[in-house]
Amino acid sequence: MIPVSLLVCVLAGWCAVYLTDTLLRSSPTHRYGYESWLARRGLMLSPFHVRWQTTIFNRLFAYCARIHPRALYLWFSSGLVFGVVAMLASVVLLVKTLQQTLAQMTTDNPRIGAQQALQVVVPGVNLPTSHLAYFFLALLLSGVIHELGHAVAALREQVRVNGFGMFVFVVYPGAFVDLFTTHLNIVSPAQQLRIFCAGVWHNFMLCVLALAFLFLLPLFLLPFYSSGAGALVTEVVQGSAADGQRGLSVGDLVTGLEECPVAGVEDWNSCLSHLAHVPQTGYCVPAASLQPSWAHGRAFKRLDGTMDCCSNNSLTDLCFSYIKPHTSEREQYACMPVRKMVTGTQVCRSDRDCDADGGPGVCVTPSLQNQTRFIRVAHMLFVGYPPHLQHAVSLTNFVPRVGFLHLDLPVFLETFCKYVFSLSGALAVVNSVPCFALDGQWMLNALLEATLTGLVPDRQKRELLGFFLLLAGSTLLAANVALGLWMVTAR
């Protein structure tokens, strides 16, 4: 959940800003100077909302709009086609997501929820608070690129840009461009479509760039970081099963989990998933080493039906099961010093795997509860449920070639690119929806004007058709958001 201290700081900060603004506006001596200062800097304040607008970027936008006019025409025409296709695809996607959400609500099937294409993100609920900085930075970058597309497309179509601005609403950042409405209404519907579709087009291209950067990141970092030799531990959750004096530490290199090799984070995840669904690995022990003196107590059944023989709950011993070779005896159990026994020991599935060295051996298997596994990870011996280990340790594919290089730099770049990809894609989808107050509203109106003028000559009828389509799209989006929030907060 969202930390209470963070909520208090946000509320206290906004209350201080609003109180200061109210006092200065009501002061006879400072009111004029304060309002003039705000106007000169393009600032506007209201409860939980601050907005800044400037014209200093207008020359940059105009310069970009003059670069290779023919190429820009093809670029924004491609954006027009993408915007129209995205508008139709977003409606189909929202309908499918709504159906899946309703099906999950009626059947309570978690597998259906995992297949949802869209998910409402709530900071502190299904977004880790440690990722808030990534979230807001990626959201701000996606918004700036979106508005940059609108501004350059507008200037290319001879529509004046009054200014560019940024805002913060509560804690959510965003950007906007102020276009000259008179010029915008004069240009043709096709020109309007190029302008309105430019935002979602640029968000889509930002997704492509973020994805390409993720794939090429090992190449970019090759002079400074190596990859493919294992997974490097960057964080261990304090108090978890992987923490402690004999647990994993930041900087440890994991190259394998039992007999499963680990070349990177993907292998780490797949190996843990594999180990959670296969029988427990055994370990080869010389037959002569299995002495009755190793047994600390008589085996007894746990509540789940499995056997235990270490009745003293020792942290260094573990109960193992085995069958003596060349005998017809039933399964036996011995409590053994686990670290001493498995260090440098060959893994096995049966006694046949333990005869490779020429001497007779016995394959002993840890006697654990159904979902519990014994796993060797580097110098650590883990006993527990494999997904718990997955959540307790954070790893990266990149190993610094030089000691002074920071371990978190590749992690930051990876995580930030993933958030840019997700949020920029989400902005492209949401803004494509034919919904009031979104780009989809203006895209739909311009599309109807460009395609239905000959079929429906009456402008009022076209506007009425557009109104009902926008109403349907707004209802669809609102239903997805409302049910998505309910599903997230109800879990």
Q: Which domain does 33 fall in, by range?
A: 4-47
Residue 113: the pLDDT is 46
Q: Is the pLDDT of residue 358 over 60?
A: no
Residues 265 and 378 in one domain: yes
Residues 28 and 137 in one domain: no
CB 163 within 8 A of CB 58: yes
Residues 26 and 101 in one domain: no
Residue 108: the pLDDT is 57
**pLDDT tens-place string over residues 370-429:** 788 899 888 888 888 888 898 899 999 999 998 888 888 999 999 999 999 999 999 999
**pLDDT tens-place string over residues 41-87:** 999 999 999 999 999 999 999 999 999 999 999 999 999 999 999 99
Residues 274 and 285 in one domain: no
Residues 65 and 125 in one domain: yes
pLDDT confidence band for 305 (50 / 70 / 90): low
Residues 213 and 91 in one domain: yes
CB 294 within 8 A of CB 334: yes
Q: Is the pLDDT of residue 114 over 50?
A: no
**φ, ψ dihedrals at 403, nearest 5°:** -60, -30
Sign of CA dihedral 89, 95, 99, 105: positive
189-198, 229-238, 243-252, 349-358: range with lowest mean pLDDT: 349-358
E strand or H helix at 22, and its extent?
Answer: helix 4-26
CB 85 within 8 A of CB 73: no
Of 360, 299, 298, nearest in space to 326 by CA: 360
Residue 128: the pLDDT is 79
Q: Is the pLDDT of residue 356 over 80?
A: no
Q: Is the pLDDT of residue 444 over 60?
A: yes
Average of per-residue pLDDT values in the chain: 87
Compare 482 and 328 and report the one with higher pLDDT.
482
Residue 1: the pLDDT is 56
Per the domain annotation, does 52 fall within a domain? no
Per the domain annotation, does 225 fall within a domain? no
Residues 63 and 210 in one domain: yes
Residue 306: the pLDDT is 73
Residues 292 and 335 in one domain: yes
Average pLDDT over residues 476-491: 83
CB 94 within 8 A of CB 434: no
Per the domain annotation, does 18 fall within a domain? yes
Residue 339: the pLDDT is 83
Residues 241 and 94 in one domain: no
Residue 371: the pLDDT is 81
Residues 236 and 103 in one domain: no
Count the alpha carbons within 13 Å of 100 in the hemisphere toward its beta carbon.
18
Q: Is the pLDDT of residue 110 over 80?
A: no
Per the domain annotation, does 54 fall within a domain? no
Give, to the nearest 10 degrees, the angle between helix 189-220 and helix 408-432: 160
Instruction: Tell me the three state secondary structure of residue 358.
Output: coil
Per the domain annotation, does 409 fall within a domain? no
| Exposed / middle / buried, residue 374 (Cβ in 10 Å: 0-12, 13-18, 19+) | buried
| Exposed / middle / buried, residue 326 (Cβ in 10 Å: 0-12, 13-18, 19+) | exposed
Of 378, 362, 353, 375, nearest in space to 326 by CA: 362
Q: Are strands 161-169 and 43-46 parallel, antiparallel or unpaired?
A: unpaired
Q: Is the pLDDT of residue 258 over 90?
A: no
Residues 363 and 245 in one domain: no
d(CA 394, CA 254): 11
Residues 239 and 378 in one domain: yes
- Which pTM does this prediction carry? 0.84
Residue 135: the pLDDT is 93
Per the domain annotation, does 152 fall within a domain? yes
d(CA 177, CA 160): 11
Q: Which residues contact 326 (CB under 8 A, 6 or more apart)?
A: none
Residue 369: the pLDDT is 77
Instruction: Tell me the three state secondary structure of residue 345.
Output: coil
pLDDT confidence band for 117 (50 / 70 / 90): low
Per the domain annotation, does 65 fall within a domain? yes
19-33, 293-307, 340-354, 444-458: range with lowest mean pLDDT: 293-307
SS3 content of the chain, % helix, strand, coil (to 5): 50, 20, 30
Average pLDDT over residues 483-490: 78
Print burial letters for 3-36: b (CB count within 10 Å at least 16), e (below 16). Answer: eeeeeeeeeeebeeeeeebeebeeeeeeeeebee
Task: Count structural domains, the chain.
Answer: 4
pLDDT confidence band for 296 (50 / 70 / 90): very low
Q: Which residues contact 69 (CB under 8 A, 6 or more apart)?
A: 156
Question: Which positions are annotated as active-site residues?
Answer: 147
Partners of 223 in the β-ladder: none
Instruction: Tell me the three state secondary structure of residue 103.
Output: helix
pLDDT confidence band for 351 (50 / 70 / 90): confident
Count the alpha carbons within 13 Å of 469 in the hemisphere toward its beta carbon.
19
Compare 171 and 178 and report the one with higher pLDDT.
178
Per the domain annotation, does 406 fall within a domain? no
